Structure formats: C-alpha cells, structure tokens
Amino acid sequence: MSRRPSANSCPSRRIVQITGKGQSRKPKPPSRDSDEDEDDSDEDDEDEEDEFPVSHELLVKTHEKAVTSMALDTSGSRLITGSLDCTLKLHDFSSMTPTTVRAFKSVDPTATKASASSETHPIHYVAFNPFAPSQMLVVSATSQPRILDRDGEVLTEFVKGDMYLRDMHHTNGHTAEITGGAWHPTNAESFVTSSADGTLRIWDVNNKRKQKEVIVFRSKAPGSAGRTKMTAVCWGATPDGGQSNLVASALDGSLVMYSGNGPHTRPAAEIRDAHTPGTWTSGLDISSDGRLVVTRGGDDTIKLWDTRNFKQPVNIANHTSTSTTFPTSNIRFSPTSANVITGSETGDLYILNPATLRPELVTPVTPGSPLITVQWHSKLNQILTGSANSEVHVLFNPTLSTAGAKSVMMRAPKRRHIDDDPNNVMDLSQGLSSDAIVAPGGMKSGSQSAMSFAARHPNVGLTASGRSRDPRRPHIPDTTPGSKTQPDEQHIKNSIPLSAMRDEDPREALMKYADKAKNDPMFTKAWKETQPKTIYADLSDEEEPEKKKAKR
C-alpha cells in the first residue's frame, strides 16, 4: 500500500502544545504496535496539521531588537525584515542551508552618503511592489517615505513637508512621522502613506518632489481642533480590478473609507468611535474580494466591517492589544480571505474564522514574547511571524507548502572547513610578530592554516573602512599614490642643489658660501664678464647722507 511521506522525518518539525478547535493537543509519535496502528495515527495527525501550514518552522534570528515589519517578494525567494534596531535585513532563501540561516546584507535606509552621521530611525513598514518586485516601499519613523531596490539601495527619497504651514494642502510632503503605507492594488506606480500630521498622501514613484493628492482628515472629536493622527492605512480592490477602496484609521477612534479612484475631498463612509478614542488602531486589512475590513484596535478588540454597509461592525472579538508598546502590530487576511491571522501578547499565533472571529487554531511561536507582525504568503503557503525577541519564524508544512523555508530545510547542511572555526587558526588581524615568522621550508601546518584563513577572509579583524577593530592599535595612514614613489633623502641631496641648506643655520650658510658666491656665482654667471663693478661712495662716520626733500 502506497503512503504519503510523513512530515515527522523533517528535522524542523515543531514539537509544541497546539490548541485548535477548542481542544489542546500535542503531536504524538507514531505507534509501533503494528503497521496498521502506525498508518492510522499518521493519517490522523496529518489530517489535523494539513489544514494550516504550521507543523514545521525555520528560525531566522538576524536582528538585535524587535522585528516590526517584514515582506516577501511575489516569487517568495527574498525576505526583507525591519526592526527597532533601525536596520533592514535582506535574506535569500536560495543561499540558505539549515546551518547557514543568515542575512546577506544589512541596510539603514535613512542613512545617505550626504549625511552618513545622521541619526537612525526604527522601521515601521516595508512591502514589495506587487507588480514590480524590483521596488519596495520602506516607511521609517521619519516624514519621508523611500523606495529601495531588491538589494537595499535607495532609489527614491520623497520630499519632506514644511512643518510651519498650518494648511496641509500647501505642503509637498508629510510634516510629521509616517505611521504606515500601502501599494495601490492595481497600479504599480502609486502608493499611499498615513502620517501623524493627520493626512493621507498618494504618491507617484516617478515624482519625488510632490505627492499626487493630499487627503486631509477632519476630526469631529471634541477638543481635537479638527486634527488627529492617522494610525494605519490599507488599499484594496476587487479581483476583477474594479472599484478600489482606501481605508484608514485615526487616533480619535474613527474609521474612514475613500473611493480609491477619487475624488478624495470627503470620505465615502465614516464611522466615528469605531474603536475607543485615544487608543492606537495598529492593524488594518482588506479582504481579497474588497468586501471585508478587519481592524485590530488598542482597546483590546478585533472588529470585522462590511464595505457595502459601512456603519456597524459585523463581528467583534476580544483580543489583548500590543499597540501601546509596538504600534506596528498588524492583522492580516489569508491569501484566500478564508482566515484572519494575528499575533498575541503571549507570543501565540491566532488563526481566526472571519465569519465569527473565533480562533480555529492557536499555536505558540515565541512563548512569553509578544508576536508583533504576521504575513501569509500566497505562493509559498507559508506563515511568517516577527516577535519582540528579534526572532522571525517561518511556519510551513512539507505537504502543503512549496519552496521558501521548505527548500532550505530540505537541503544538506553546508560542509564546514576546519579553518572556519576561529579556535583552530591564528588571529592575523594584528599581523605577525617576529616570533611567528618562520622559514618557508619550515612552515608548520598551523601557520599554513592561518595563512589560508587570512587569504580567504581578508576583512576579518577590520572595519568597513579598513581600520583595525583593536582599539589599542594605532591607525596606520593609507598609502597614497604619491607616497609609493617618494624619493629618499640621499636622492634629494644628490639631485637638488642647496637642498642640504635646510638643516644649517642661515647665517653660517651665507658666510660659508660668501667667497664661493663672489668667485663662482651661480645665478649671475651668464653676464660675469660684462657685469659692471659696484662703486660705493666713500663716507666718513661723521657725515650723513643727504636726506631727500619730502614732496608736498
């Protein structure tokens, strides 16, 4: 009898307490009583686990602080993560193995060549352009959104607004911190950002000098003076590319919806007190059919809304919020909108039924550490989570998932070379001392390993600028092109006349060469024969030369 390969053979299998559908269960080892019992137990476990891709995981720990945002390109080959450590980490699944899970590049998007010493800012939002994977939108805790390429190079840095102007329609950019962003669902050249200046701005990727449109939200909350911060924004459309909806949340508890194609002078629908005023609504998403909106508020609630009847929530569920500590805590629909996923304060992943907002599965990912951001990739069918303990977990199922983390865990571990362990080689970052110099014929194997390690790792012990990491070692100036051909002192003395006079007393040098200058002049030798003899007047000590009369 043919059987499907069991997922228990994969070394990345998660052995955790999983709560789902009102029951608490733990993956059981297969029974060894009989082949028939083994088949039954395997089939039962697989039926329960195959519903969601959470049976296996890949741990990616490349940040130093909490992971606040992450994105996968449409093909699922490149992973970008943003963190409170103010950096973006770029990962490539194709170059990873189970023992070499690391980022191939770290980028600070706010640091430029013109201002390399400027302060850094946490990352709020990062997302690939769904129609142009070579571009990604990066939103940090500044007033300027940026477009980066796949390798982390800044392509466009959009303009900053004038903070001294009261009317937000007259500024060409945001004047306060940007809180979120979203790409246009059908147009590859447009995206929207929300900001603490109370506006939503629609941008064209080809024009960094000015936004396309400014949407100023007028708050009706008492004491707000008509202004409030915008906390989150999302942009959705129907699968046939029809009418799109732009939905945003505000700090006064409002939830507003605009027509994606305009005009944007006033909201198409507005819900006051959608969440408790003064609480930060961090999570916001639209379903794939454009009909449902789910929000995760700072008032410990999750609410589901219908865009066709945008007045009252369809469902409400209690869920402890983490937006006070982590304002980028999100909530997402699954690729088919059949489920809703979000993280919890206790580090659990919640998979909810959108019809009832009840959990269909709750699985711990980082127990004791809040789960901040979640993503469900449609092509890979894998769930990604980012936590406050700086860990990124990629959950998958060997049967349902494809490529991505699955391909990484299926590869053979990278073969380690003995020289890759620094304990087995010499540290050549400080150079070789006189005791370590040996004759070529008598070089020991340890020295050969050290030289091999230095040849394969020329930058070990050095910073990016080429300086030594050892603070006790003085800085050695770089060799300039001119210093390579600089002549020595003997060459200067032999080639340049009178060069030795630099080291003598000027008076002694003049007296020494007085007779020589008189008998063998160097500079007036050309007219020596025709030079007239200088005749001075004979004056006594008592006589004084006649003074010239002053001109009047």
* pLDDT per residue as tens digits for the range 177-236: 999 999 998 888 999 999 999 899 999 999 888 889 999 988 888 777 778 899 999 998
Residue 206 lies in a domain: yes
| Residue 430 pLDDT > 60 | no
Residue 426, pLDDT score: 60
Q: Residues 373, 273: one domain?
A: yes
Q: Residues 79, 125: one domain?
A: yes
Instruction: Give the model's confidence band at 241: pLDDT under 50 very low, under 70 low, under 90 confident, else very high.
Output: low
Domain end residue (candidates: 377, 410, 443) = 410
Instruction: Give the model's confidence band at 442: pLDDT under 50 very low, under 70 low, under 90 confident, else very high.
Output: very low
Q: Residues 363, 434: one domain?
A: no
Structural domain total, the chain: 3
Q: Are the C-beta atoms of residues 140 and 121 closer than 8 Å to each other?
A: yes
Residue 385, pLDDT score: 93
CA 453 to chain CA centroid, nearest Å: 31
Cα angle, residue 344 at apex, residues 342 and 348 outer, rounded to 5°: 90
Q: Residues 389, 306: one domain?
A: yes
Q: Which of 399 and 514 is assigned the larger pLDDT?
A: 399
Residue 183, pLDDT score: 92
| Residue 541 pLDDT > 80 | no
Residue 27, pLDDT score: 38
pTM above 0.85, yes or no: no
Instruction: Give the model's confidence band at 476: pLDDT under 50 very low, under 70 low, under 90 confident, else very high.
Output: low
Residue 519 lies in a domain: no
Q: Residues 305, 448: one domain?
A: no
| Residue 483 pLDDT > 80 | no
Can the peptide bond before residue 506 be classed as cis, meaning omega within 30 degrees of 0? no
Lowest average pLDDT, out of 234-248, 301-315, 334-348, goes to 234-248
Q: Residues 288, 220: one domain?
A: yes
Lowest average pLDDT, out of 3-17, 256-270, 406-420, goes to 3-17
- Residue 485, by phi and psi: left (phi above 0), alpha (psi -120 to 50) or beta? alpha
| 365 C-beta neighbours (distance < 10 Å), count | 24
Q: Which of 274 and 460 is assigned the larger pLDDT?
A: 274
Residue 465 lies in a domain: no
The whole-number average pLDDT for the span 303-332 is 90
The whole-number average pLDDT for the span 431-444 is 49
Q: Are the C-beta atoms of residues 92 and 78 closer than 8 Å to each other?
A: yes
**Per-residue pLDDT reduced to its tens digit, 513-532:** 777 777 777 777 777 777 77
| Residue 464 pLDDT > 70 | no
Residue 497 lies in a domain: no
Residue 479 lies in a domain: no
Percent of the chain having pLDDT more than 90? 31
Residue 116, pLDDT score: 44
| Residue 538 pLDDT > 90 | no
Residue 504 lies in a domain: no
Instruction: Give the model's confidence band at 420: pLDDT under 50 very low, under 70 low, under 90 confident, else very high.
Output: low
- End-to-end, the C-alpha distance of the chain in Å comes to 130
| Residue 484 pLDDT > 90 | no
| Residue 46 pLDDT > 70 | no
| 451 C-beta neighbours (distance < 10 Å), count | 16
The whole-number average pLDDT for the span 161-179 is 88
Instruction: Report the chain's mean pLDDT, rounded to a whole number.
Output: 79
Q: Which of 65 and 525 is assigned the larger pLDDT?
A: 65
Residue 23, pLDDT score: 39
Instruction: Give the model's confidence band at 485: pLDDT under 50 very low, under 70 low, under 90 confident, else very high.
Output: low
**Per-residue pLDDT reduced to its tens digit, 356-388:** 899 999 999 999 899 999 999 999 999 999 999
| Residue 140 pLDDT > 80 | yes
**Per-residue pLDDT reduced to its tens digit, 283-305:** 999 998 888 999 999 999 999 99
DSSP 48: H
The whole-number average pLDDT for the span 463-479 is 60
In 101-126, which positions are buried (b, 16+ CB within 10 angstroms) versus exposed (e)?
bebeeebbbbbeeeeeeeeebbbbbb
The whole-number average pLDDT for the span 93-104 is 87
Lowest average pLDDT, out of 10-14, 130-134, 197-201, 356-360, goes to 10-14
Cα angle, residue 99 at apex, residues 94 and 105 outer, rounded to 5°: 55
Supply 203's token pair. Answer: 């941008």
Residue 2 lies in a domain: no
| 429 C-beta neighbours (distance < 10 Å), count | 15
Supply 328's token pair. Answer: 């980028």
Residue 471 lies in a domain: no
Domain residue limits at 24: 7-46
Supply 333's token pair. Answer: 């629909």
Q: Residues 323, 430: one domain?
A: no
**Per-residue pLDDT reduced to its tens digit, 32-42:** 444 444 455 44
| Residue 20 pLDDT > 80 | no
Q: Residues 39, 65: one domain?
A: no
Q: Given strand 88-92, what is the order of strands in its sheet? A: 67-72, 78-83, 88-92, 105-107
Cα R_g (the chain), whole angstroms? 37
Q: Which of 1 and 166 is assigned the larger pLDDT?
A: 166
Q: Residues 279, 368: one domain?
A: yes
Q: Residues 99, 143: one domain?
A: yes
Cα angle, residue 526 at apex, residues 524 and 530 outer, rounded to 5°: 90
Lowest average pLDDT, out of 106-115, 274-283, 365-374, goes to 106-115
Q: Are the C-beta atoms of residues 353 and 339 closer than 8 Å to each other?
A: yes
Give the SS3 label for residue 433. Answer: coil
Q: Residues 73, 21: one domain?
A: no
Instruction: Give the model's confidence band at 474: pLDDT under 50 very low, under 70 low, under 90 confident, else very high.
Output: low
Q: Residues 35, 134: one domain?
A: no
